Structure 1
Amino acid sequence: MILFTLLALFFAAIMLWKGARLPLLLCTAVFFWSIAAGWLTAPLLELAQPHRQTDAPAKFAPRTAIIMLGGGLIYNAEHELAPPRDVFERIVTSADSYAACKRTSATCEVIVSGGDPLGRRVTEADTYLPYLLRRQVPRADIVLENRSRTTYENARNVTAIVEQSNYDSLILVTSAYQMPRALLDFKRFGLAPQPLISSARRAHLGLLPKFENLVNAEIALHELIGIAQFHVYRAIGWF
């Protein structure tokens, strides 16, 4: 949606500034080619993903909560709503972390946060639940937070859950591109969970355009704008 908006702005400028149409057309072509070919997408991802992997292993405590953030839903081959690739990586990472936690700690729980931002009448948290169960996370150790529509709401609603329990350790599981903004949002509510990155996105450099580079650029721009929005909202007292 961000790239489409930029394209619309370029097109409007071309239509309005008749004397500069050729330079504007060339700039538009070069700009979108550099994104689709990965050359501009790569630095955008570097900005959005300052850490592509977790620097240190997770530290478990007697009472540990593993917080997994939602990341949307897609239709699979059976035309059923399912986790996209990035979220599946979060599920795997959360389940593996839960298994490691149970080997060292008395109490381990997975808090799954994700509502229904697109109004499909199906929440992310409820959709992800069966995938965690298949990876041997017991239902009794899974807490569903299915009202959040944004990362900010993830942090706010999970904080309310955490405040009702005496957790000694909090571990935040999400993709590398979402982690910086998620940590900012959790810090806003007084929490500093350990970051555990489930996956990172990478640009595919070349001469030919690739659709995945466009997707990656859209995601990177969304996160960077979200971080800027967070700081603006904090400055004016909205967050």
Structure 2
Amino acid sequence: MLYVLKVIYSTFLVPPGIFLVLLLALVIRLFRRQRQGASLLLSFTIIFYLCTIPAVADPVIRSLEARYSPPAAFNGDVIVLLGGGATMDTPNIDGHGHLSGYAANRLLTAAQLYHRYKLPILTSGGKVLETTGTEAEISRTILLGLDVPDDKIIVENQSLNTTQNAEYSKKLLDSHGLSQPVLVTSAFHMPRAVLQFQKAGVTVVTPCPTDYQANVHSLVSWFDFVPSSGALTNIALSTKEYLGLAAIKWY
């Protein structure tokens, strides 16, 4: 009984579920007065519902994540770690600032790769907003706490987007005599990141995707049709990535 109550309140009393409930209530109320307007609003509500369920969101983001798999062997000479968001002044064990969940997953993979292959790590990511932390610097501090030596860390702290990640990293790679990066970023972001690095002149890139948002194999259950904020986030991430892929020719 408690489980059923938890599902009900966590689904329909918090976003996005509560918005669906309010939209349906508005549709019912409007249907009595203006059926055409109610039909349009109902169509919007259905589209919004589809964007909030894992049954739709997981295949969409999986279409990006499935493009690359972690390689069986690594022949690179440097690990390039892309940032993915950071707080500025939150207290950390070794200082201030935390990485977002996406960026933290990327960093853990980079640290694992370092301890296995002893390749240097180039951390890429600047201070995107006035209210955010400098991603590369925070990554460096955390890597030091994970027993990665300081002389094995190269910091690129100026980039504000994936295009600049690639361009500024290329300059640092050239200055350090490195040319075969193992690229670490979220699986959904990897297709765009690889293209941006190739566009910047990094011709040999070994993708190492991490931070998967959906299972590799689809296991559909009734819960996949329940609205969730995570599904809505995955739709937003996927939309952003596909728009970015379309815009790479110009930016």
With the shorter chain as reference, the TM-score category is: 0.7 to 0.9
Within the alignment, does 1:220 sit opposite 2:232 as a pair?
no
CA contact (8 A) 2:120 2:152 kept: yes
TM-score normalized with structure 2 length: 0.76
Aligned to 1:69: 82
DSSP 3-state at the match of 1:201: coil
CA contact (8 A) 1:173 1:197 kept: yes
Report the Cα offset of residue 47 of structure 1: 2.8
In the superposition, relative to structure 1, how do residues 78 and 146 fare at CA in structure 2: closer, same or farther (>3 Å)? closer
Unaligned residue ranges in structure 2 (runs of 5+): 1-26, 28-33
Aligned to 2:106: 90
CA contact (8 A) 2:55 2:225 kept: no
User: Which residues in structure 2 correspond to 1:1-239 (within 5 Å)?
Assistant: 20-51=36-67, 53-60=69-76, 64-74=77-87, 81-102=97-118, 108-120=119-131, 122-167=133-178, 169-191=180-202, 192-202=204-214, 206-231=224-249, 233=250, 239=251
CA contact (8 A) 2:180 2:205 kept: yes
Report the Cα offset of residue 198 of structure 1: 1.9
Which amino acid in structure 1 is aligned with residue 234 of structure 2?
N
Report the Cα offset of residue 40 of structure 1: 2.4
CA contact (8 A) 2:88 2:98 kept: yes
When structure 1 is superposed on structure 2, of 50-59 and 90-99 the one drifting more is 50-59
Which amino acid in structure 2 is aligned with residue 199 of structure 1?
D
Question: If you compute each CA radius of gyration, which structure gives the higher value, 1 or 2?
Answer: 2
- RMSD (Å) for aligned C-alpha atoms: 2.8
CA distance in 2, matches of 1:67, 1:140: 15
Which amino acid in structure 2 is aligned with residue 174 of structure 1?
T
CA contact (8 A) 1:44 1:221 kept: no
Report the Cα offset of residue 166 of structure 1: 2.0
CA contact (8 A) 2:120 2:154 kept: yes
DSSP 3-state at the match of 1:144: strand
CA distance in 1, matches of 2:184, 2:191: 12
Unaligned residue ranges in structure 1 (runs of 5+): 1-13, 103-107, 234-238
